[in-house]
Amino acid sequence: MPFPVDRPRRLRRTPALRRLVRETRLRADDLILPAFVNEALDAPREISTMPGQFQESHDSLLRTVSDAKAAGINAVILFGIPQHKDAEGSEAWNEQGVVQTAIRRLKHEFGDAMVVIADNCLDEYTDHGHCGVLRPDGSVDNDATLDLYARTAVAQAAAGADIIAPSGMMDGQVAAIRQALDDNGFDETAILAYSAKYASVMYGPFRVAADSAPKQGDRRSYQMDVANQREAIRETLLDIDEGADMVMVKPAMTALDVVARVRDATDLPLCAYCVSGEYAMLRAAAAAGAFEERAAVLETLIGIRRAGADMVITYHAREVARWLDEEEA
């Protein structure tokens, strides 16, 4: 019986051949480093639910970002833990607040060589842990919250943020932030919209890291139902209409179908967030001997890129950048 003419295995024979015809590539500058900065710390503190990850002091944040930059990572997204919290989350827009201070220090140190993204939400700043202002019945007041997101965005842009990333899933948040930025002379500041953000159990370790778990209730009334896919496309298109420059799907690993659908729906830059629970699962499984961490993480990130993400937020960013550098050597 003659062999078929088309023999794909010919191109799999050696590592060099496989690299030559590889369809999807992962580079250090596809990665965004997430960083937690805690106003109360003088030194980094390991996060109990995320082994190998730390809440940073302002000084240690500079060292961490410098290390990331040396490894080839060119973007960081900041999450703040303030010393003071209140019902409105007023530290979010404080000009001297934890994230604004961190932004100024990073921009002074790195200038335009490092893209600084400011997460824009209130859950880390409110004493109740929700992403917006609460009504007397405990529900989130969408429209009242928009005004506070806008104030926060202006404070972040004034501090030097290159990109504002609204993550609260309030209706109209992108439009409110775009208007506020433009009205205050920050028309060059970009918006990365958390467009398809699911109400996922995978955020548990993050909520410990950012001290942002709701004191009562949950966020299912404003974050997306994990069962819905078409809604993610609708949310994404709404954000684009409101002025988003980039869009995001979160989580990444458990929403690869959504990443692919969003990729088909828009040509805008698409980010996927490999979230804290996904990081913790990979670390735990590797620690238990289920697989080698390096291989599993690289395969996971390639899968996210293959689904259509242009960039990935990952807590493995610095390790991955070093692994990729070793592969190139």
Residues with catalytic annotation? 197, 250
Q: Spell out a b/e string for 12-45, using b for 16 or more CB atoms within 10 Å of the CB, else e.
A: eeeeeeeeeeeeeebebebbbbbbbbbbebeebb
Determine the distance from the C-alpha atom of residue 218 to the mean position of all C-alpha atoms in its chain, rounded to a whole number. 20
The values of phi and psi at residue 120, to 5°, are -120, 100
CA–CA distances in Å: residue 258 to residues 186, 247, 251, 253, 268: 31, 12, 10, 10, 15
Residue 320 contacts residue 31 (beta carbons within 8 Å): yes
Strands 31-38 and 311-314 come out as parallel
CB atoms within 10 A of CB 192: 29
CB of 209 closer than 8 Å to CB of 36: yes
223 three-state secondary structure: coil
